[in-house]
């Protein structure tokens, strides 16, 4: 599983990364997490509101920071 956190480094972007790591730990999964901070690359993903999460090259959420439990559900179904 390959994950990308799309965001310019704001507090919400960092919170999404933290919650994603906690969700992975909760599920006992390991994944490579890349941070994409370049605005042009973020827009190329079709994301207009950050933070956003990409799982295996699919944008699964944008514009909010879900709870650890919500992220665990997303990751488990990926």
pLDDT in tens, 16-72: 999 999 999 999 999 999 999 999 999 999 999 999 999 999 999 999 999 999 999
Residue that wins the pLDDT comparison between 51 and 9: 51
CA angle 51, 25, 14 (to 5 degrees): 25
Q: How far does CA 20 lie from the centroid of its chain? A: 7
Domain residue ranges of the chain, discontinuous segments joined by +:
2-77
Please give the structure tokens belonging to residue 43. Answer: 């827009």
Active-site choice (6, 13, 54, 75): 13
**Contact criterion met (CB below 8 Å) for 17 and 65:** no
Active site residue 13: yes
Report the SS3 class of residue 69: helix
Active-site choice (1, 9, 10, 44): 10
Instruction: Give backbone dihedrals phi and psi of 50, rounded to 5 degrees, phi first.
Output: -105, 160
Per-residue model confidence (pLDDT) at position 34: 97
**pTM for the predicted model, two decimal places:** 0.94
Active site residue 40: no
CATH superfamily placement of domain 2-77:
Glutaredoxin (3.40.30.10)
Per-residue model confidence (pLDDT) at position 78: 86
């Amino acid at each position: 599983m390959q994950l990308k956190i799309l965001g310019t480094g704001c507090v919400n972007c960092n919170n999404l990364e933290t919650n994603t790591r906690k969700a992975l730990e909760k599920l006992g999964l390991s994944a490579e997490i890349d941070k994409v901070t370049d605005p042009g690359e973020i827009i190329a993903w079709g994301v207009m509101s950050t933070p956003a999460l990409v799982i295996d090259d699919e944008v699964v959420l944008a514009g909010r920071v879900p709870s650890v439990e919500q992220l665990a559900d997303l990751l488990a179904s990926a």
